[in-house]
Structure formats: C-alpha cells, structure tokens
Structure 1
Amino acid sequence: MPARVHALVVVRPDGRTPAAFHLKRTLAALAAQTRAADALTIVVCGEHPGVAEVVAAAEADVIEAAATTSYAAATALASSRLEGADAVWLLAQDTAPEPEALTHLAGALERAPSVAFVAPKLVRWDDRSVIVSLGVTMARSGRTVGLADGEFDQGQHDGRDDVLGADVRGILVRADAWERLGGIDAALAGADEGLDLGVRARLAGARVVLVPPALVATADDGVAGLPSPLTPARRRRAAYARRVARLHRHLAYAPPVLAVAFWLVLLPLAAVRTVLHLLRKQPGLIVPDWMASVVVFARVLPVLRARAGIARTRRAAWSQLAALRATRAQERERTDDAGDDDVAGGYRRPELRFFTGGGAWLVLAALVVSVVAFSAVLAWPVLGGGALAPLREGVGQLWADAAWGRRALGLDTLGPADPFAAVVAVLGSLAWWDPSRALSILWVLAMPLAALGGWVAATRVTDRPFLRIVGGALWALAPAFLVALVDGRPTAVIAHLLLPWLLYAGSVAHRSWAAAGAASLLLAATAASAPSLVPALVVLWAGAIVLAVAVRAGRGVTRLLWIVVPGAALAAPLVWWAVAGADPWGLLADPGMVWAGPQVSADAVGRSLLVAGIPTPDVAGWQTLLADGPTWWVPLLAAPLALLALLAPLTQRWAAGITLLAVAAAGVATAVAAVGVSVAYTQSQAVALWPGAGLSLAWLGALGAALVALDAGLAPRLALARAGAGALVVLAVAVLAVPSLTAMSRGTAVLTDGPASTLPAYVAAEGRSDPDLGTIVLTPQSDGGVSAHVIWGGSETIGAQATIMSTRTSATPEDEEVAALAADLMTPAAEDVVSQVAGHGIAFVLLAPAWPAESDAAGTAALTARNALDQRDGLDAVGDTDKGALWRITEPVAQRPRVPAGTDRLAELIAAAQLGAVAIAVLLAIPTAASRRAARRSPRIVGPHWREWR
C-alpha cells in the first residue's frame, strides 16, 4: 500500500446548490474513510462565507485562488504541496467517497506497480444505484464514449479492469506518474481530462485500472467534470468544453502532417457542423461549436506543449491503444439516442391511421369532386380570369422576380420583390417544363389537398376517425375557399391550403425544433400569400409565447421565437421600403394581380355575411343559382358549425376550445376589417382587401372548436349523436357549396382558358426571348383619362407584380416620365416622342380596350389616341388584336438602361440573408430518426387538458 496518500479537494462555489452543503458531505466522507488520507489540501476558487466556514473547521492545508480558476489549474497549484506523497487523490466539492473507497483504490494501486492511476465507480449523489461513470474510451473519430454512463448498477461492469481512461473525479494517481505526465492538461477546458490523462499514461507505458468496489458519489455540480445539463447556459458550457477538448485532442494526438491539415480546416469544419446541428435539431450547439473552433484555432501554443509532453514521455506505440478504443458498434450503442420508443410506463403515440381511418378515402372523394367540378381546367395550359395570369416561362426568371432589383413593371423601378413572388417561384419550379401549368394542376388538386390538410389538422384535435373525416370535408368545402377557386384568386387558395398545416406544426412548435422549422416555413408562405393575416397571426404568436412563459416556465420559447424569423427575413426589404416611404399600410395589400372582383361591401349587411363565412354579395353564388328566389336562409347553413364551436369552452377540454375560438375571432376580425381597407389600385380604381383569407383563418378556428365539442362534449356512449351532429354540419356546408361546385358547368365561373399572355401574340413572341423588351400600354378610362404603364417581356405575370407599385399613392419621377411620354404620344403636336420612348428600351405601343367599361368619354379618348398614334412617324401599325391596337416602333430601340452600380451587390446580400434564413428553417424542418422518435413519445393531440400543455 502506498505509504502516503495526499487528497486534493477543489472547491468553487458557483453551482446551483450551495457549495458548502456539498463540501460538508465530502469532508465528512473523507473523515469516515477506513483508510484515512495522510494529507489533505483544499483549493478554494473564489470567496463564499459558507465555504470559508466549512474549510476553517477542516484540518487541511488551504490554497486560495481566483473564482475563474479551472480544475486543472487548481490541481497544478496544489502540486507544489505534494512533497512526500506517494499517491494523489483527486476530488472536488461534490465527490463524496464511500467509507471503503480509499481502501479499495490504494490496494489496487499497490497490487499493480505498472498502473499509473486507478478510478472508482462514480454514482449519483442521491441514488447510488445509478452509475455516473465507470471508465471512458474514445472512438476512432476521437469521440468520447462512456462505458457505463447512466446505467443502473447491477454489477454488470464490475469485471472490467483495463480501460483507456476514466472520469477525473475520484481517481488515485501515483505521485511519480502525476509529476511525469504533468498533471491535467488545462487546454481541455474541463472535459475529457481523465481520458486524456489515461491516453498519455498508456503511451508512457503505464496502465489505467478500474476499481468498481470503490464508490464515489457525485452531484455534477462542482468544478471538476462537466456541469449537469439543468439549464440552457450549462448545456452550452458543457457543449463548448466537450468540443474544445475533442479538437485539442485531435491536434495533440494526430501525426504532424494530419494535425496541420486538421488545424487548417477547423473553421470550414465548423460550418459543416452547423448544417449537421440543424439537421439534428440542435441549433443550440452552433454557437458553442463555433466558439470552440475559434478558440482552438487561435490557441496554437497549448497544442504544441501537449504534443511536446507526449513526445517526451511516450514509450509505447499508438497501435497498442487500439484494443482499448471503442468499435463502431460500441460507439453507436453507447452514443446513439435511439433507445426504445417505449420506456417503462412511458407514452407511445398511436398510429395515424390515414388509410384505415378513412383519410385516404376522403382525399380520393375530394379528388373526384374536384375533377367533376373543374374538369375543363385539365385541358387549359394557362389558367386565366380573376386575379390569375401566366407565370414566367423559365425557372430562372421566376426566381429573378423574387429577388431585390429591377421590377418587370414600370419604366425603371428598382426595389424589393413581394415575398409572394418566392411562393410563385416555388410553385412554378414544380412544373419547370411549363411553369404556368402549375396553376392548372393546383386548381384541380386544390380540393383534395384541402381535404388532406383539414384531416391532418384534425389529428391535433381528435383521434376519432369519423371526426377527422368531418374536419377534412369541412375544410375542403369552406365557402371562402370555393369562392376563391371559382373567382380565380390564387393567393387566397394557397393561403387556405397552408393554414391547416400551419396549425398542425405550429401547435407543437414549442416541443421540437422540427415542428418549429416547419411552422416557420409555413408561416412565411402564409404571410406572403395573405399579408392581411399578419396582424392576426402575430397576435396569436405572441399569445403562444405568453402561454409558454406562464404555463411551461419558458420552455420552448426559443423555438416559438424562431417561427417568425424566415418570414421576417423575406419581408424585411419590403417592410423597410414601405416604412421609408411612409406607406406602411401598403404592406397589407393582397399580392399578385390586382383585381377588383366581387366581394361584400363594408356595410352592416356585408359584414354580417362575413360572420357567416361568406365573402361575396351573391351569398356564395346562391343568388345567381336561384335567380329571384329567396336567399335569406343561406347564411343559416353555417349556424350548426358555429353553435358547436361555441360549445367547446363548456367541455372538459375548455382550454383548447377557448384557444381555437380565439383563432376564429382573430379571423373574423381580420375579414371584417379587411373589407373597409383599400390600399391597392388597378387603373383608376381602389381595390379593398380580400376578406376571404381572414375567413379561412376564422373557419379553421371554428372548425377546430367544433371538433373539440364533438370529441369531448359527448360521452362515449353517445356515438350515434356525435355521428349525427357531424353529418348534419357536413350536409349543411355541402349545400352551401353547391353553387360554387357547379359554377363551371353553369358557365358562371370567372375562370377562363388562358390567356397565354396579357399582351398581343406578336409582342409575346418577341418578348419570350427578350425579357428586357418593353411595351407601353395605354388604357382609356371611363372618365376620359388614360392610364399608362410599361410591361417588360412577353406578358404580365403573377410573380412579377409588385405592391411597391400597386399601392403607392403619389407619383414617382418614373411615373411622371411615363405620363409625359403617354401624353406626348397622344398629342399630334409633340415631336421626337417616339425616339424618347425608344431610348428607354420600349419597342411597342399598345392601346388597350377601355376600362372598366366603354363610355362616351372613354371612346373619345381612345379615338383621339388612335388617330394620334396612326399619324406618328416612327410607329408602324401592326393592327388590331384581342388585347387592343398595336404599334411597333421602327426607330432604333435602345437597350434597357443598366441598373445603378451597387444594386446587384445589394441584391446578392439580401438574397444571401433570405436564403440563409430559409435554409436554416428547411434543415430544421427535415425530419430525422431522432425527431420522429421524440415525436412518437409525445401526444399527437394538443391540449386534451390544460395541464398537458406543460
């Protein structure tokens, strides 16, 4: 037995539990050893009254150090006091050995002269049946692998002897080995200290041995070892320490050439690991990883010292350590977080039952109804009518329209794109061979996609197959959705299709990063398609954060905060432009083509229809269908759904019911306010916001609340009553949908076949290959005026629309120049106007039909303009077309002016920031095996009872 054992206890009072409490137990455990330590040195890092009192009562040599002193530095300070010691026992304030621990450790060290140090079995402070650590090794990748961490102690590892390393807490080290090895490497930042000491001891020709009978309890709250992951700050600190230690060991152990190569790729490797952390749904590790990489990259001298120390003491080859390293199978077994999906007494989510529960049949039925109702659309390569227009013919042009830069409308307008242009680009890219075909496909698939989305959203409310079918059917038959399909409103259709998925992901975004990533993308797309929903969505998002703080003690708030980041990144340039131009109201404008289609008025009658979910004055088409018949009863068809929704707060799931009613209220408020707000203009007419997007949000909340009432408001034995109530609601809404579903066959739908271009075919053919070909369009107005605007390329397209132009209320210098050119073109006395027009890159002049309807004043203006244009030198009349009278400029047409210097650079910076935010969201949203396992361990239904929100 070594003649003299010197115990070192390092105390740093910065843990969550008062250090004095742990230190008392540790010192009492040392005093109770059957084989007492011969000397005791206590290193106190920092000042603390309670610790000072405990230390003063102990018979020990005391060293005072700064509060920032690490465990390695503290043991180095105490090394000068080890004179005469044969062994050093490394302890901390929270490592309390069992009475026989030192006896077992010292005996093992005496029996094996070739051993550099022996390690005890670390157990939990409050439960000695759980192993904290019993031996450590590393994989070939350098990853640290605990051999028994977190296991219940059943003696299954007591036969293990030789190991590569061990947790530094509680080890008993020969004094000569401690001095020869230079103690603990301070560059490890507190992680893998025992592993590194063991590796260096093995290379020096010594062994590391486990002594399982020696038990040392640890609370993971001291200066030694990694802190317990009880708070986000501690988790980040532990992640930083682990990464620093691993990178430092890589550089210290690798051959010189490989070490230099690895040092050079440290920062690029951090970038790659950033992507991996996002894929693994661990964004909290990104900052610690980068910090560790930067620190290790800058700290060259500690690496050189570590390599020199290994070279000085090395007596064995690295190959002799191979047998003690973890194999790939052992690494996967010890570090894979898979585990069993079913822990004892744990929760396992039931199967979704999409096929066996009738979901697939619902989607199939919706597809059949859609094909019957919109069969003509299948033959239309380009969908027209309403707010529909062609898409760009190339995917590159689609994405160019989504970037900051020169807009495809206006004389020379520079500015941000609408976020909806990115949605259009994604949609068009799905049909890259013919982007405009994407809208035709979307129109036919809209109803089955809506049914699928409604069914999936219903799974967050109920696990009853019938009620899920009811939810999917009601969402596909929503009046605002069907009216948007019949009237040709793509933004409203897309928003309606996205909302149930936003509810599905957003309702559990506080649980996981995968859900938060998906919700952030869905929120960005929804807000881009229906900006009028943004105020309501922001209110609901803020309410979710307040709820997380109040009910969940702030857990998941970071995930909820992330939800708005991609949408904010996409909208930031447009928001900045609107605020700088003192026109923030324009941010609410419906994107895409501006169309003053039929919608209810802002009076009491119109808003009462909105409360019933009907966005048009013809009562969802029933006035047209019944001609002179009464339609007062039509809004009552929505009453069964509303009554069920109002009953939800009276059920045992009142919290979910109230929340969903709040969603419905936000949607109704949005729709009611929207019809009174006009921020966009087409020709000379102001266009009110479309209230249908708000009604879709209201329908989502009311539908969810109604499902809550049906699911929890009726006892299980009343299944027949539940089925009858659900069938009644579906029947009532189906009756309400009859005019919309038959509009195509009756010829009352706004949808049309095409046009392939909003410009004459001659211009479209020229502009197809030259997107910088300009056309000035003159449109006589009913009041005798003329509207003038410039279109670039072969057609106006949905993605090329810009609210920075459709919502401005004051003329810009470009507007004034276009107006001057138009006035000069229609004034016979004006000279050289054609050359001025050609100098701007404009090659055609189109005199469009009068808008909105032919009048005497409009006819006079059109005749005057035509006569003036026919008499112009430099204009060659192409002739009358279905889009109006067309003239071609015969004078040399200049190239469209280049953008100012720096604009391309600005566009690249904005695009990089936006793509970065979206890429992060995509990486977070991609499901992994671990995220799917975690999801299966949590309920699919949200808020069965308010306590379960915790």
Structure 2
Amino acid sequence: MNRELSSARAFKPVRALVVTPGDSQYLDATLEAILSSTVLPDRVSVVDTSADFLLAEVKSDWLDVISVPGATSLGQVIAQIDSIEEPLLWLLHDDSAPAPNCLELLALEMEKGRTIAACGPSQLDFEGVKLLSAGIEATRTGWRMPLNDDIDQGQCDDRSDVLALGTAGLLLDWQKVRAAGGLDPSAGRYGEGLELGRRLHLAGHRVVLVAKARVRHAQESFRGERANPAELRRSRYYNAALAVYWFAVPFIALWALGSGLTRWLGHTVRGQRAQARAQLHAAIAFLTRPGKVVAGRSRIRRARIMARARLAPLELTRAEVRAERKIAKKIELDAARPAPLEPVAAAAVVARRGREKAALAASLVVAGILNLFLTRGVWAHPYGGAWLDLPSRWRDLAEAAFSNWIPSGLGEAGMADPILAILCMFTGPFAAVGISPSKAMAFLFAFLPLISFATAWAGTGVVTRAPWARTVGAFGWMCAPFFLIGMHQGRFAPSLAHALFPLIVWAVAGLVRAHAPHLAFGVNGKEVAGELGRPHTRAFVGILALLVVGAASPILGLSGALVYLVAGIYLLLTHRPGGLIGVLAGVPMLVAISPSLADALGKGHLPTALLSTAGMPVQTPNVPTWALLAGVPLAAKELLALLGAALAVLAVIALALPERVVSARISWLCLLAGAAIAVLSASVPAGVDENYNMVATWPGPGLTLAWVGLVGAAIATLDYLRRPWRKKPILVLGVALSLVLLIGGLGSGTYFAISPTPGSFQAAPNRQVPATQQGVQDSGTRSKVATLRPTSDAIEVSLLRTNTASLTGRNVLSSPQTPGEGAAAKLRSAVANLASNSGTDVANELADLGVGEVIIPRSVLGSDEVASPSTEQALARNLAEKIDAAKGITRIGSNDLGILWRVRPQSARLKVGDQVVPSGYLSARAKIGASPSVRTLKLAERADSGWKASLGGKALEATNAAGLQSFEVPANLGGTLRLSINPLWIWPWRLAYGALVLGTLAAAIWPERKEVVTWKLGK
C-alpha cells in the first residue's frame, strides 16, 4: 500500500471514504480499483470499524486510516469522524470495487446538474456479470423491486432520476447533503440509502443514476457473518415510519408488532430459530426506540421544501413489486428443479400420473354414489342411537364448548367435551349464513364416508403410487365394517376420527420425506421421480387433523402425537429440517384435551376419558374384534375365512418383502397396538344407555389404528406383487388378492347400505319439544321441558334445555356422576308429587327447577285410537290424568309429539324473587333495579362452589336452596348483574387454544416451495 497517489484530480476535490470491518478479503481489490481510476480522488480515507483496529499498522502516504469501532453504518461513521472539507464525498464499501471510469462519469454528471445532490453507479456482482442494482426502486413502505439476477446488458442505461441509490459507490455533493441533514445514523446500513434519497428529493435536489458507471459489489453484508436480518427488517420498519404521514405512524407500529410476531411464529414452527429470533428482535428494536423515529421525521421536516407528492412518480405500487417478485420466485423454483428424467422415463411418469388421476376420478364417483346410499338416513336428520344434536343457536354452542359446566338437566361440574370446540369452529361459518349447528353437523356426518375415501387415497400414497393398490386401500378404509357400524349407530366422534386419521399418516410421511415415488424405466435403467410436495405445509395440515382426531378420540390423538414425536426426534438426531415441528406437533391437541383429561383424572375415570368418544352410550353389536379387523360384513359368514385369509396372507408377506422392511414393521406395530386398544375398550365402562344398562366403550378408535397397519401392509404387498417386472405367477397372485379385497370392501359397504344395524339411529324430526317451547328455550327465560316416561316401577324423567337431547349436555370424558341428594332429590320429589296428585304446590317446585313445560311423548302414549292399550301406555294415560288434576299445570294440547302441559307461574332459569331475569345458555348479564328488602337470586342449576355472581360490582353471597344455586341480594342494591361459572384459568386456556389454532392454520397456508426430486436406480 505504499504507492503514491497520481496527480490526476477530479473536477472538484473529492474525498473517498472506504468503510471496512478490519482487513477484509476484498479490501485490497477495492483499493487497487481506486488506484486504477481515470480520475483519482484527492484523499482516500479507510475507516476501520473493527474493535481491535487491525489496520492501525498500515503506513501509506496516499491514504489515511481512521478507527471508528462499533459503527455499523455510514451514517454512524460520518457522525464520528472529523469534519469533511472536500465538496464531494465518494462512499465505498470494502467489497465494492469501482470500474476505472466510475468516478470520472460520476463527477461529470455532478458537474452537469446544479440541483444534483447525489449520483451513483450501477452495481454488479463481484465478477461483473449480473446486475444487482440500478437505483433503489421501492414502495412507500420500503418493499423493494428485485432485479432477478439479470445479466448486465445495458438494459438500464436510459435511467436517470431515481428514488434513491445504494451507498456503494455513491458520490455526494457534501454541502447540499449536509444542509439537508447529512446521513441518518438511525437508518442503518440497509436503509440509509433509501432514507437519504427521499430526503434529498424533498429538499429540492435530484438523485441521479449514472448507469454506465459500474461498481462490482460482493454484498457481504447480506450473507455470511456480516449479514444481520434483524437490522435489515428494522430498517424497513424505520423507513416506513418516516415515509408515511404522521397519523399513520401508529399503524406502522402495529404492523411491525403483528408482522414480527407472525414471522417469529412461522419461522419457529418450521425450526428456523435464527430467522425467528431476527424477526422478533427487529420488531422489538423498532418499537422500543420511538425517539429515533421522532428524530428522523424532524430531520426530514427541517430539510423539506417540496411536497411529499413529488415522490409519488418515483415510488412503486405494491402490485408492481408483487408481479416482479412472482417472476423472481419462478426463477428460483426453476433453478431448484432437479435434473430432468430421460425422455423415455419422463413419458412413463407422465402416463402413470395420468392413470392415477383417472383412477382417482372414477373411484370418487363410485365412492360418492356409495356414500349417498350409506348415509341416506342422515338427510332427514338422525335421531336416536348414539346421535346427539347441538343447540339451535351457535352462540349457545360457543358458550358451552369452552366452559367447565355441563348444561345437563340440572347441570353438573365438568369440562365440556373437546369435540364441541371443534364443532363450534366448524359450524361458525354456517351459522353466519343462517344454518343451525345441528344441520351443519349432520351435513358433515353425511359426507364422512367420502371424506374417509379421499383422505385414505392421500394416505396410501405414502406406500404406493399404483392406482389399483391405492383404490383398493381407499375403498377398504371407507368400507371398514366398524366404521360403517359406527356411522349407522350415529357415532359422530369416532367416525370423524376415522375419516381424518389418514391425514396424520400422510403428513408425517411428508415431514420425513418418505412419500412413495413414481418408478419408470429409462434407457440407463430405472429412474425415480419423487414428489414430496410441500412437507411443512403437509405437516401443519396433519397437526390440524391431529387436533380434530384428538378432540374426537383422545387415545387416537395421543397415538398420532406419539408418531409425530418419534418422527421429530429422528429428524433432530439426523439434523434434517422439520424436527421441531414433529416434536411440538401434539401441543395444540394436548392443550385442547388436557382440561378434560385432568377433570377425568380428578374423578378417577381417566381410562374412560382416554377410550370414550362423544355421544350417547350404545351397546356394541355382538361381533368379535378379530371379525371386525378382518373386514367382514356381520351376516356374510361364508366370506369370513376367505377375506381373513387374504388379509393375513398379505400382512405376513409384507414382513418378508426386502424392499418394505421398515413400512411392514411399522404397519404391524400399528396393527398390534390398535388391536390391544380395541380389546382393552371392551373392559372399560362408558356409561349407561337409555335403558340404564352399563355400556363398554366403543372399540372403533383402536380398530382405526389397527386398520392403518392392516391396510398399509396389504397395499404394500399388492404394490410389490403387481409390479410389471415380476414373473407372471406372482402377478396373478397379486391381481387375485386385490380383487378379493376390493370385492370384500365394496361388499361390506353394500351390506351396510341395505341392512339395518343394531342400535342404529332413525330418520326423525329434529325436535322433541313443541315449537312454542323451543322459542322460550332460546329466549332469555331459558326454561326447560320435563319429559316423563312411566314404567312399571318408576317414572323416567329427563330435562331438556334444547329441542332435542344435546351433545352439550354430556361429557363422556368425565364419567357420569351419581345424582346427589340436593337438586336430584328436589326433582324426584316434584315428579312424585305430580304423579301422586298429593295436592302439594307442585307447580312452584317445577318452576324452581326451571321447568316451563311437561310432556309425555307420543311413543309412550301410543295412538289415541288404540282401544286396548299396553301396560306402559295405560300407565302413561293414567299419569296424564293425574297431571291434568294438578294445580298450576295446564294442558295446552296434544299432537304428534305427545301431550303437553304448561307450568304456571312462569318459570325461568334465573329469577330475583318473582322477577324473571334474562339469562344466557350458561352465564348471565342483565340490569336489576334496587329494592328496599333483601331478595334471593335463584338459579335453576345444581349448587356448586364455582358459581360467581356480582351486582353493581359487588360480589353476592352464595346460598344453597334445596340443592339449587342461589345468592342473597342485599337491600338497596341494584345495577348490572354478572353471573358466571368459569374459573380464573379458563380465559388463559381459551386464549392459548385460540392462538395455537390460528397459528397452526396460518402455518398451514403459509407459502412454501414444492419439493421435487429425481434420482437414478441403475439397470
């Protein structure tokens, strides 16, 4: 560096300022380029920003070395060095080597225009081939236009005035720049060029690109150790806050907060921890330093003599940038494409994909027709069996779904069934267009067979790409006998879990990049074309499916979470992407079901909580578990040996396949685990059915897991046996076994489509109460309907809060509680007085329980035209006569539902004295006037310590009125009444649940590049 500076000078004295973080690998090349310039600067200053001042020992008579430790931008450098006396300042980075005529062209341009305050060169890569920048083109918020790695062909030589310029090679008229406020130290190295360009324009100056001047720029600050993505993002927030009008600055802050959190979450769930931290740090750094924004806007305000509208022609719209970035994305994807297949193999792969799509289309048509026959009874609305409806109003469903109170007849403490939260989210859009939750639920239930076929088709793609094998596997999954039995019995939750479980298999396989490829013959042997799709997107879709499956069947959800966990640990140990996703995949599902499981654990019913599913307990048909596993219709005994043998042969062969060792053993592990769960279910009680018989839990979830293994092993074997290079006898065996399984699956579906199943639901009107009472139930009074069914030794009574038995009135995860003596005894006493016609004030007793109407169903009474009624019908008619004689109870009519009576005085869920207080499904909020006397607030719910009430901000003291909840209202107290049952932890749980669902949904729809790979297997 001891060369003398040439006597050649620029037109005005120029000082070159080269900023370097120590002795970098590009510094010598940059200084040599300066010395090779046709016009040399008068002074060259090298600014060392390293902490140890590595250039201190450099001795030269043509440059001086300045130490500014810790400076991260040119603005900070200039703010700390001595005053600059030269009229022109030439800014260079250590990795920006100017062309020989660069300074000459810049100085000539500066001499031509009196209003030019800054001019800069085009920036090329360090090899001088690709064009990196031809001025900064950006939107008002700093979204920049990419150049897509264009080769420099002079395509930007006609550009002149630009919005801003990069600081590498930038020549400044220092007097004008200093008068406009100099460089902003707070803009940072990534944003100071854009900020300076805008401010110079507003100060009445020009910013000009000299396109023929060139600088070779390595852009080290965008990669390697110098890269700082947090500072890059912060500088965009900062420039956006300076560019907008003052009243929009708070919106920029909100944008920074939301964008930082969203990007942090997106990168975190994808395992990109460094990028996640950078996004969060950028938002924090911007939001915690509002003084810098104030100072930056003050600097612009002092310099500005022109309106902001002057910048509009130079700024881009978001549509222009979006279109160019779309092109950049396409270029990136094209560059990432793998080596193409040989033409022969490529044609074979295209043909295979065409056959696969044709098979899927044809199979969907057949599956759709079969679905219509299987669920034809659902369209008239299901009733009976295990089916339970939802409240008629979505608001009531939302209130019950996230509560720890079960609104049964008298109410009971316990967490709502987790499936209610899923149904609440699913039925919300339907409710917005006037469709009730029950109808939306029935609509989903009607298409579960078709959904199960579609998900099974996706899941079979993990094992094989053969259309025939995938068709067999999908129909086998759709027509699984235990699934169809559950559908016929109205078992919504386990049927939903069965329909969605293949998505978990599909997602985990995508996460570990284990999707089955296409095989084809090329000139040089077999080639493979694997379409991995979007693995992270698939993983998050699987996590959403896992959430639904876990809410419908906790044991299946925990099994799926375990699969994700094993996959995540494997990816972490092998240092592959996606490990953190697999490890944390079960968190949303665990958050959803953990309150219910904890509630069941505290009551000593954890096995029931794990193995049970939502719905009315129904007796399981007397079918051996091994028969259901074999996929045989109940009455087709003659096919038992044939189909069982076929499945057993395929599963056993899978263990011996040399190419299927891992998948076969995983399939058998699923088969054995599922069979164990199914057998265990037979010994765990789920509750009592409508005839008060103890019922065991439904083995469907265990059979679903077992069916995953059975179908997986079977189609793996079929795929192996039917490959075109196998010998003819093996091909014949594969075809024969495929036909046997396909005929068995379709035969199973056909059988259940035309034959009844024990415990099946019926197509019936979706109400058990009169329309008048339904309106009262949905109003503020929230009165109940007492349904009476007399038997030879008792009277069965049930209290309905909705028009039918509701899914919100049960919690199968918490085993049914034994009725206590308080509220249950009061109900028994009221019914006994009603049946005995004892002369007591039974109407008030019923009103205290919130009963507004009494009904004896028509199914118990029988037809009025029957001359000789049965014993039960006679008992029911005798009971009706006694109710007619009761005081305060008036018969209002008889119709197809039964005989109806109305209770007087008016009953309501919530009363203050005799005044009816409007109430919600569970909570209440209403205005109550003051009274000079002490009153009692009566709630027609079982007494529980969780109930809290306040009036006018003052907490009310709870009392116990014969087992029902009540509160004492002091004299002269009025105001807004607030009644709730939710403990303090319920709101944090709701927020966590909602945040996890929204975060997972956002991650599932986050754009991701599609992964495609090809490789050769050889001859």
Question: What SS class does the counterpart of residue 80 from structure 1 fall into?
Answer: coil
**Matched-pair contact (CA < 8 Å) for 1:826–1:869:** no
Partner of 1:839: 848
Counterpart selection for 2:287 from 281, 286, 294: 294
- Cα offset, 1:489, TM superposition: 1.6
Partner of 2:542: 519
Task: After TM superposition, give the deviation of residue 476 of structure 1 in Å.
Answer: 1.7
The amino acid of 2:287's aligned partner reads V
Report the alpha carbon displacement of residue 540 of structure 1 after superposing the two structures with TM: 1.1
Q: CA deviation at 1:136?
A: 1.0
Distance 1:327 1:880 in 2: 70
2:330 corresponding residue in structure 1 = 339
Question: Equivalent residue for 2:385?
Answer: 386
Task: Work out whether residues 117 and 171 of structure 1, in 8 Å CA contact, stay in contact via their aligned partners in 2.
Answer: yes
Which of the numbers 236, 248, 273 marks the counterpart of 1:242?
Answer: 236
Q: What CA distance in whole angstroms lies between the structure 1 residues aligned with 2:206 and 2:375? A: 81
Select the residue among 244, 252, 265 that pairs with 2:251.
265
Structure-2 separation of matches of 1:744 and 1:528: 28
User: CA shift at 1:772, angstroms?
Assistant: 2.5
Letter in 2 for 1:772: R
Q: Tell me how far 1:361 sits from its aligned partner.
A: 1.4
For 1:818, the aligned partner's letter is: A
Give, in angstroms, the shift of residue 668 of structure 1. 4.6
> What residue number does 2:620 align with?
598
Identify which range, 424-433 or 233-242, moves more after superposition. Answer: 424-433
Instruction: Tell me if 1:499 matches 2:501.
Output: yes
Query: In the superposition, relative to structure 1, how do residues 588 and 321 fare at CA in structure 2: closer, same or farther (>3 Å)?
Result: same
Q: Which whole-Å deviations, capped at 9, do the CAs of 1:543-585 have from their partners, x for residues lacking one?
A: 23223323454x3356556754554554455456456767655
The 3 A distance-change label for structure 1 pair 265 and 435 is closer
1:774 aligns with 2:784: yes
Q: Secondary structure at the match of 2:548?
A: helix
* In structure 2, C-alpha distance between the alignment counterparts of 1:747 and 1:163, rounded to whole Å: 78
Q: 1:3: how far off?
A: 6.0
In structure 2, stretches of 5+ residues that fail to align are 1-9, 270-275, 341-348, 513-533, 861-870, 912-918, 924-947, 950-978
Name the CA shift for 1:99/1:765 in 2 (closer, same or farther; >3 Å).
Answer: closer
In 1, are the aligned partners of 2:98 and 2:169 still within 8 Å (CA)? no
Residue 272 of structure 1 deviates from its aligned partner by: 7.9
Partner of residue 644, structure 2: 635
SS of residue in 1 equivalent to 2:186: helix
* 191 and 110 in structure 1: CA distance in 2 versus 1, 3 angstrom threshold: closer
- Change beyond 3 A, Cα 1:486–1:317: closer
Q: CA deviation at 1:513?
A: 6.0
Q: Does 1:87 align with 2:82?
A: no
Output the amino acid matched with 1:479.
P
Confirm or deny: 8 A CA contact 2:387 2:492 kept in the other structure: yes
Asked if residue 697 in structure 1 is aligned to residue 705 in structure 2, the reply is yes
Where 1:471 maps in the other structure, the secondary structure is helix
**Distance of aligned partners of 1:200 and 1:372 in 2 relative to their CA distance in 1, 3 Å threshold:** closer
Q: 2:421 maps to what in 1?
A: 422
Q: CA deviation at 1:841?
A: 0.9
1:930-950: CA deviations, max 9, x gaps? 65xx33x546x9xx999xxxx
Residue matched to 1:117: 118
- Residues 129-528 of structure 1 aligned to structure 2 (within 5 Å): 129-139=129-139, 141-146=140-145, 148=147, 150-157=149-156, 160-202=159-201, 203-210=203-210, 212-221=212-221, 227-228=222-223, 234-250=228-244, 259-267=245-253, 269=255, 287=280, 291=284, 294-295=287-288, 299-311=292-304, 314=305, 324-326=314-316, 330-336=320-326, 337-339=328-330, 343=334, 346-347=337-338, 353=354, 356-373=357-374, 375=376, 377=377, 381-404=380-403, 406-413=405-412, 416-425=415-424, 430=430, 433=435, 436-437=438-439, 441-442=443-444, 445-505=447-507, 507-508=509-510, 511=534, 514-528=537-551
Contact 1:451/1:473 (<8 A) preserved: yes
User: Contact (CA 8 Å) 1:774, 1:791: kept in 2 or not?
Assistant: yes
Given that 1:529 and 1:590 are in contact with CA atoms closer than 8 Å, whether structure 2 keeps it comes out as: no
Contact 2:507 2:542 in 1 (8 A): yes
Aligned residues: 877
Q: Which shifted more, 493-502 or 890-899?
A: 890-899
Q: 1:582 to 1:487 in 2, by over 3 A?
A: closer
- Deviation, structure 1 residue 818: 1.4
Cα offset for 1:742? Answer: 2.1
Distance 2:40 2:665 in 1: 66
Paired residue type of 2:828: A
SS in 1 for 2:82: helix
Contact 2:489 2:757 in 1 (8 A): no
Contact 2:459 2:505 in 1 (8 A): yes
Q: Residues 806-844 of structure 1, C-alpha deviation per residue, up to 9 Å, x if partnerless? A: 5256x58x6753145426754889977764443131346
Check 1:594–1:293 CA distance in 2 against 1; reply closer, same or farther (3 A cut): farther
Cα distance in 1 for partners of 2:603, 2:46 equals: 67
User: Could you say which residue in structure 2 is the equivalent of 1:224?
Assistant: none
Q: Does the aligned pair in 1 maintain the 2:847–2:906 contact within 8 Å?
A: yes
Q: State the identity as a percent.
A: 19
Is residue 1016 of structure 2 the alignment partner of residue 903 of structure 1?
no
What letter is aligned with 1:903? S
1:782-806: CA deviation from partner (whole Å, max 9, x where unpaired): 9x999876432332123543236x5
- Structure 1 unaligned residues grouped into runs of 5+: 13-18, 222-226, 251-258, 615-619, 852-858
**TM-score, structure 1 length as denominator?**
0.77
Amino acid at match of 2:166: D
For residues 864-906 of structure 1, the C-alpha deviation after alignment (integer angstroms, 9 at most, x for no partner) is: 9999995996586979999999987556534346643463887
Q: Aligned equivalents of 1:762 and 1:211: distance in 2?
A: 80
CA contact (8 A) 2:722 2:735 kept: no
1:534 is matched with 557
Which residue of 2 is the match for residue 617 of structure 1? Answer: none
Alignment map for 1:50-61 (pairs within 5 Å) = 52-57=53-58, 59=60, 61=64
**Residues of 2 paired with 1:289 and 1:787: CA distance?**
66
Q: 1:613 to 1:799 in 2, by over 3 A?
A: farther
Deviation, 1:388, is: 1.4
Which whole-Å deviations, capped at 9, do the CAs of 1:748-789 have from their partners, x for residues lacking one? Answer: 45324245468576997686656833345688999x999876
3-state SS of 1:803 partner = coil
Native 8 Å contact 1:514 1:926 kept in 2: yes
Change (3 A) 1:562 1:113: farther
User: Shift of residue 362 of structure 1?
Assistant: 0.8
Q: Is the 8 A contact 1:91 1:169 kept in 2?
A: yes
Q: Structure 2 CA distance, aligned partners of 1:147 and 1:732?
A: 56
In 1, are the aligned partners of 2:409 and 2:809 still within 8 Å (CA)?
Answer: no
Q: Is the 8 A contact 1:613 1:699 kept in 2?
A: no
How far apart are the structure 1 equivalents of 2:842 and 2:823? 12
Cα distance, 1:499 vs structure 2: 2.1
Q: Higher helix proportion, which one?
A: 1
Secondary structure of the 1:136 match is coil
What is the SS of the residue equivalent to 1:448?
helix
> For the residues of structure 2 that align with 1:923 and 1:403, how far apart are their CA atoms?
22
Q: Distance in 1 between matches of 2:358 and 2:262?
A: 36
Alignment partner, residue 807 of structure 1: 815
